[in-house]
Structures are given as structure tokens and as C-alpha cells.
Amino acid sequence: MSKKEIAADIAKILEEIYPEVPVPLDHQDPYTLLIAVLLSAQCTDVRVNKTTPALWQLADNPYDMARVPVEEIKAIIRPCGLSPMKSKAISNLSKIILEKHGGKVPSTFEDLEALPGVGHKTASVVMSQAFGHPAFPVDTHIHRLAYRWKLSTGKSVTKTEKDLKRLFPEETWNKLHLQIIFFGREYCPARGHDPHACPICSKYGRATLFK
């Protein structure tokens, strides 16, 4: 089978298991999604979802957040890790959104990636989940599984993203990246994984998984 045929079969399996997929990070609008994704760097979605309600009580829009002292933001988001860096980024990007974008989260990759603390993966999540723009955010689960399933070499997340975009139809990207994330968590974890019991690895997993 060609890689495209394997990718099509994997997409079929994922669609059967996850016909509907929720957005993992709780949010109300593009701004709260942007902040939640920023907080999720080196942190679990569960921890972020436990932390953001207190942050939204303090400020859930760039107008209010820009007026909150960085130390107050840092105190609330400390459980998410990297709080000194993340709190400064939240404060500064809120001010930039006000000054340069009229208080609205920008809806282009270029403008999003110009914001403090916002890299390509974060921008991709916001473009996909907030604005419906075709994007394929590659997190650790997707990067790991693309290698396990021989869809990519695993040399870098940038390479993985390019490989997956070539293999899967653009109209599937926004849903598919979430399906792979959920599959990685529930069926195909990094540790304690039985490839024989995995509905995808049992068919397409690398031979090293079965040693």
C-alpha cells in the first residue's frame, strides 16, 4: 500500500472511533482559546482547564487583561508551569491585540505568530479551532503517532506537519488533528502501549513496536 492509501485507511479508522471530537481546551471565544493554548505549552489540557476559570474571573478579554499586573496573572497560572514567561506573554499580547488589532484576535498566521509567546503550533490551533481555517497543529501526540504509523520520519514537527498535509485532504485537517490527539491518549500512549491491541498500530505500526 502507498502512504496515501495507508493514510486514508487510518482516517477511516479514526472517523469510526471519533465521529465527533470536542475541542480539548475550554474557551468561550478566540481570545480565551488563544490564552488557553498558550498555557498548554508543556502542560496538560486537564490542568489548563482547571486553571483558566480563575483567570477568566480576573479577566477574559484583552481590555481587562492588559490592566492586570503581570504578578497577578503569574500567581493564577503557576500550576501550568513556566508562569514567569507565560504571564508576561499574556499581558503583552493583550496590549498588542488592543493597540494593533482593535481588540480582536488576528485571524492570520503572520499576525498571530508575531504575538509574544505564540509559535506556529499555537497559531495553527487558533486558526483551526477559532476561525475554521484549514490547519494541522502538530503536538507531541501527533508527532509521535505519525512516526509510529510510518507517515513521517519524525525528524521534526515541521517535517511531520508537511508530511501529514501532503497525505490527508485539506478539508479533513481541522477534525483529523483532534482525532489523532484523542486516539493517542486513549489507544496509543507513549508508555504502556500494546501494539497488538491498537487498531492502527496492529496494521501499520513500525516493526520495532512488536519486538
CB atoms within 10 A of CB 18: 18
Compute the C-alpha angle 45/110/128, nearest 5°. Answer: 40
163 is catalytic: no
Distances (CA, A) of 24 to 45, 61, 109: 7, 20, 21
Q: Residues with Cβ < 8 Å from 178, sequence gap 6 or more?
A: 18, 21, 22, 23, 24
Among 121, 165, 194, 203, the one annotated catalytic: 121
121 is catalytic: yes
Among 4, 139, 155, 203, the one annotated catalytic: 139
Hey, CA dihedral for 173, 143, 46, 183, is it positive or negative? positive
- Residues recognised as catalytic: 121, 139
